[in-house]
Structure 1
Amino acid sequence: MTILQPFSKLLKTIEPLWKIHFEPRVPAEELAKSRTAGSIPSFGFFFLLTLASIIATLGLITNSSAVIIGAMIVAPLMNPILSLSFATATGNWALFLRSGLTIVLGSFLAMGVAFLVTVLSPWDVVGSELLSRTRPTMLDLGIAIAAGAAGAFSLTRMSIASSIAGVAIAVALVPPLCVVGIGLAGGSAMTGVFGNFYVTNLDVAGGASLLFLANLIGITISACLVFVLQSYGSLRKALKSLALGLLVALMLSRPLGTSLHEFAVDNRVQLELHGLHRDGRFRDVNLIHRVDTKLVNGVAYVNIFGAANEEFIEDQKNIDNLDQRIFNAIQPMGVHTMHIAIRIAPIEIFEYRNTSSSYSYQP
């Protein structure tokens, strides 16, 4: 009796019961028809995408996450991307070209609508919702890979087909395109607001373009693999297109990896600032609005925006100690040189206590 025999017997006992919970797959012919319909650049597709782009752009301008989520649900851009994945898995080049054309036309439409709405709006101030889509990392690529797999799998099971809306929310497609349009319309005149600070010369369009490409590649590759693993198509037919997709993903991995490193350094700096504030040495630093880090060949350019009382600002030792403490914290993360810019707005704190009245509570 081998060590695996008890596990084999247990598996045979459970298998008949477990098979009950496996839903039947959608027939290949039916899935092919739905993917063909999803790839067509129809009037309905462009109409819904136009409305979704308007909603997303206005949501980004007003910094409303609820409005942006609504735009994600309305936007039909996920359909041709999943059709592109299905075409890759099955080797259907007519479907591949039609899906690709629909994605390209839809992308330019979303950017154009956002550009027009921004030009017509008396607005040039960037909020947190827009800024969060300008610095993608490898984490965003991971989200796109998981979302693409979930989207493809939901198409193959009738009982969970409704979950495709959740997939559209999980991975942002239209909002990054709208950010690109907003960035092209606003240019370098756009201003980011962080508490009491205003920052200009923001690279809005470039970062958002990278986010959209990462989402597109991640969804396409993972969805294609899910289709192949369920015998919709074959790996042999999908190999060339998958190789091209993996090559693009590899090209994107460098800027995404750099952004992830910057994200990690940002978090380490914020953690250090929180620790300094908590242990009392920098208790007079009342609020850190933002930490922004750029890494270039091991050189960290750290920008800290915060607020403190005037006594703290006037004492140069406080700033020097803060400088050294932060460098010591991020040096083990591959940083050999640090250039730090600390912008602290002076504030005055008034403390009010009501001593004229006393209150008591008796149950």
Structure 2
Amino acid sequence: MSGSMMHVTTVIGARPQFIKAAQTSRALAAAGIAEEIIHTGQHFDKNMSDVFFQQMGIPKPDFHLGIGGGTHGEMTGRQIEAIEKVLLKNTPDWVIVYGDTNSTLAGMIAATKLHIRVAHVEAGLRSFNRLMPEEINRVLTDHASDLLFAPTPTAVRHLKAEGIKGAKVQMVGDVMFDATLHYKSKAEEPDWGSEAAPKQFVLATIHRAENTDDQSRLSAILDGLATSKLPVVLPVHPRTKKQVESLGLQFPANFRLIPPVGYLEMNWLESHCELVATDSGGVQKEAFFHGKPCLTLRDETEWSELVESGCNRLVGADSEVIADALRHPPSAPSGQMLYGDGDASEKIAQLLASFG
């Protein structure tokens, strides 16, 4: 890149990161910052195809590395090698990484080894469960990055407790909130197949390995959700479907299985459901953004402020606890602003420009 224009390289690899990057890319362009995007290929499915980019108005990646699959070490190592080649050629002022995937860690390592400054968006999240690969990725990325964009005061406190403080930590709010506001009017009803759409329903997502790979946990989650008086709409992750079949389990009769959905369809489901039951980090927040109570099918969450505010309940994989929470759900969010004012992306662009 020529001239004195600031130049950043964004590294992403999973679908939630594309949604976050879409917001920040718009803000970077508006601030006159040149950006190129590296897609590692960590997650690739048809919802990540050209249609997804067109639907969301996301800039197409400048580099598509096509690196997914393999063990954590193998995937991360191959990504570091490929990202390094791009960075050696393009020498950006900053590398931006998002969240907590292997792509996040690989982007951070490749950049820091080349003495290129790293900005970490969604810094400071902690589940305090070191068995989760995501927890390792976020802790290492936070400790090696030069600028940390924290979404909440809780995240800032976590960083401070680990000795990371000062001007390098900036509380900007949550880019996912920006995205929900931006795409709310563009939400699209999913394809329900031959049957009519249910009038009222519980929206469920189950995809985390700790739930899908453990027969007792998966069975207990399905048994708990089977007690719902309302139909349970499940955009079924291919791996979850395969695991249910291979473990000899069955989806309960009150489940309405639909194919995996894109972001705009997910927004529609979240805004039209009565309640969300999920093991996804992002969907917990989106439930809050759409004013819906949430049951989290995990033993801990990095979004602890949702639990503290009373609109999210940790139910783990205990069928009785899930059944009880369906009978007596948490309260719906009541207009609290936990994640900023919807301008996190603009703040990120302004701060990057000010750090030069």
TM-score normalised per structure 1: 0.24
